Amino acid sequence: MPDTALVNSDLRSALDEARQAYTARNPKSLLSQEDAARSMPGGNTRTVLHAAPFPLTIVRGEGCRLWDADGHEYIDVLGEYTAGIYGHSHPAIRRAIDRALDDGWNFGGRNVNEARLARLIADRIPSIDLVRFTNSGTEANVMALAGARVWAERGGRAEARKLMVFNGGYHGGVLYFVSGGSPVNMPYEYIVAPYNDIEGARALLARHADELFAVLVEPMQGSMGCLPGDPAFLAMLREETKRRGIVLIFDEVMTSRLAPGGLQEKYGIVPDMTTLGKYIGGGMSFGAFGGRQEIMALFDPTRADALPHAGTFNNNPLTMAAGAVGYGEIYTPAAAHALNERGEKLRARLNAACEKAGVAFRFSGIGSMMTAHATTRPIRSAADVASGNADAKELFWLDMTAAGVWIARRGFVALSLALRDADVDRFASAVEEFVISRRELLRPA
């Protein structure tokens, strides 16, 4: 058996050394952070982008590459947390935005591309008959829940005021359950159920059925660590909510990219409502919520009892133009299949390298989304994710940064269409080098 105390001590020493090298290598980013901290709390306005000892400042992106303030070049395999599926400054999207700019923006009226983008979404996502746009996935979930609550109330279930979510779920900055909850969450009454636990979730559904207006779930939990939902678990949620008259909402803000019609199409499980975002707006600020016609009709302004839905930039011409080209002409069903097949092959290669090296390291996910975990356990629950070694994960991020590979601090990866075989090979080679060179520090306990 390895001496765990010795391994941990050596790991901390290696981590300290990697942090020092990172600081020495990035003096301009450090100065940028110090300057930003004078006008923003912690120099930050988006929590996930903070990283100790300080975040790098990115100054340029092109294709699948990024450059930081100190002139270092990176292969971008983060893909802006799934939003950057087209890479940086895709020429077709750039032309669409340029055309939109030539005609002006902020019209205060409808524009020619919004109906086109809506039709593309409704044609592709099985659960969506009608759709409405927002500015983010967070807004999409907020509005979907508002509609579901009123749907329950007008359907004779006024007592249904509670929402079922799942431990590890993330539905935006005000619907955050990765750590069980957040002080800034919306003030719903939550029933937090165990993810991928069929019997546990079914028991909670039965116990609270009369109180629940909706069940909100990611078919793969992205922020938790690319934790795939078991199809049998998701099918149980569909069966139980349908039987009890509870609105089932799939949050496919991230996962809609994993098949032409999202994971609901891949698994053949159709919810009542779906929320979308990220890449569908062509890489611009975007969100959407949609679903069954009778539910979405609540937002029809021709009705006397219509629900209001505001948002100055819901249909902004730049996003509508970028989305219509990106979703309609670039991320076609064929492109979706190809990108996700590439991701499956890459993840298999990375896990084979980890297994060959005999290290406590692995990658979970589906298709073009994956996350690194410093553990030997299969990733099926939040407990499996939590079993990973946090120091090893940080060392992985620091080593990838030093190798010129841009990933999330938490080990998250989302492949883009801009990546070529040589770029994917470079990332895989960097991971293979990491698990070999750090093998003694990553031994299973």
DSSP line for 248-294: EEEE-TTGGGGSTTHHHHHHT---SEEEEEGGGGTTSS-EEEEE-HH
User: In the beta sheet, which residues pair with residue 28?
Assistant: none
**Annotation says 356 is catalytic:** no
CA distances from 338 to 217, 260, 368 (A): 26, 11, 10
Active-site option among 197, 278, 279, 393: 278
Q: Which amino acid is at 53?
A: P
List the one residue out of 72, 70, 59, 74 whose CA is nearest residue 28: 70
- The one catalytic residue in 251, 272, 384, 423 is 251
What is the bridge-based pairing of β-strands 73-76 and 65-68? antiparallel
For the sheet with 189-193, list strands across it: 130-134, 287-291, 273-277, 247-251, 212-217, 162-166, 189-193
Residue spans of alpha helices (H) in 268-387: 293-296, 317-325, 333-357, 382-386
Separation CA 180–CA 169 (nearest Å): 8
Q: Which of 169, 101, 173 is nearest to 139 (CA)?
A: 173
Residue 55: is the preceding peptide bond cis (ω within 30°)? no
Active site residue 300: no
123 annotated active-site: no
Q: Which residue of the set 22, 170, 327, 331 is catalytic?
A: 170
| Residues taking part in catalysis | 170, 251, 278
